[in-house]
Structure 1
Amino acid sequence: SGRVVVWLDKPGAAAAGAAADALPPPLDRFVAEGAAVVTADLLLWRDGATEPGKTEPGDPLTPRPRQRVVTNPREFAGYTFGYNSPLFCQSVHDVLTIVRFLRTTTVGSHPHPDAVVVAGFADAGPIVLAARAVCGEAIDRAAASTDGFRFGAVNDYRDPMFLPGGAKYLDLPGMIALGAPHPLWLADDGATTDVAGGYSAAPSGRLVRLKGERLAAEAAAAAADWLLRAD
């Protein structure tokens, strides 16, 4: 179909499943509809924690990856992030690199895709939203579930989602609004005024939201439906 779906979730590249001939839903539906599917391990997604005991029950990526910090007996975020990009930014770079590769690299006789769409869930949701905010038309459609994440709620600079200044300008909703007017499917049950304001001048239907009790149960399937639509 000329469409490539970049699907980013907690299992990373393992989201495609172990069996080469049996993709899990909704990835199987993308292939059935003629789309190509890309999954990926972003930086440190498979490396685990840099400290013992930093785990999340039920998380397939247990232990959860942690920020790499410089060796210093004095605890201070500036020793690391005054000189180095935080893991969140490096993960956004990974997404942009994947999109750039798909758009510009010739692989054998495969043509360049007509459309590149990107979806992110769990920690990858805000990462995809940041990529959506800076990449313009390189991403045709983006879908993301935030699990209610806000940068202002991060209380540890070793958290993989720590971003200096991330909460300063309207937090994640402000970042989401920067993606306007490009098409966005969003599962976020928080405040919507800033996001809606950013999309107020966009054509109708550019912002689609899923909220309430349907979030967890239906997010992936609903996002897949929307990503497969023709623009």
Structure 2
Amino acid sequence: MTRRLAVLLFGAASLLLAASAQPAQGGPPALSLRYTFDGWWHGSVTDVTGRYPLQARGDLEYVRRGEGWAARFPPRCTEGDCPRVILEGTPAPELNPGTRGVRFGASVLMTAADTGDGANVVQKGFSTGGVTQLKLQVDGRAGQPSCVVASKTTIYRAVARVNVADGRWHALACFRSGRWLAIEVDGTQRAAVTMPPSVSIVNSEPLRIGGKSVSVDNDQYAGQLDDVFLTID
């Protein structure tokens, strides 16, 4: 692919994803949820609508961020009985976007010491075993975030070639619209890949933040998180 063609395609994806998608007439209603962690002392972490609480599995800490709060996950650990902590909701069919447009993401604060082979930020579903998935992750020592959509047979991933594990807050966002999957870092689109618009993300798994489970090799996220969101058009 020539550089000019790549720029044109990337620009087309930017224009497409910037447009406001609308739910199909007579289809499921649009849905939007956001977790700020500012009310964690009430027990479960609840999104701003109060409808989709998350329970902490493991000992999750909360730290001040400006006038609000952020969640702090355990530091990176590779030996012994490492702490494993996630936030987990309950299965909610309305959180399955199907083939509709979906946006999801979070603000992250990581250092080089927090990076590792796996660091799942937000996910619903799995990329193996015939289960579909959407996921935001910061995998690898280079601290590069990526967005994933998995069908039952194929994994599609948009990788931002920038390091966000630099001790500063970064806003990460994933966008799936039609045949495009894109990732945005601090308001700037960094990568986009194509995928079949027929790929449908539907599974019975709950929304999870900070890892895929609390078992060994759970792709534990290390660092701080805030402003987790999911919007389905």
TM-score normalised by the chain length of structure 2: 0.35
Identify which of structures 1 and 2 has the higher relative contact order when contacts are C-alpha pairs closer than 8 Å and 6+ apart: 2
Higher helix share: 1
Higher strand share: 2
TM-score normalised by the chain length of structure 1: 0.35
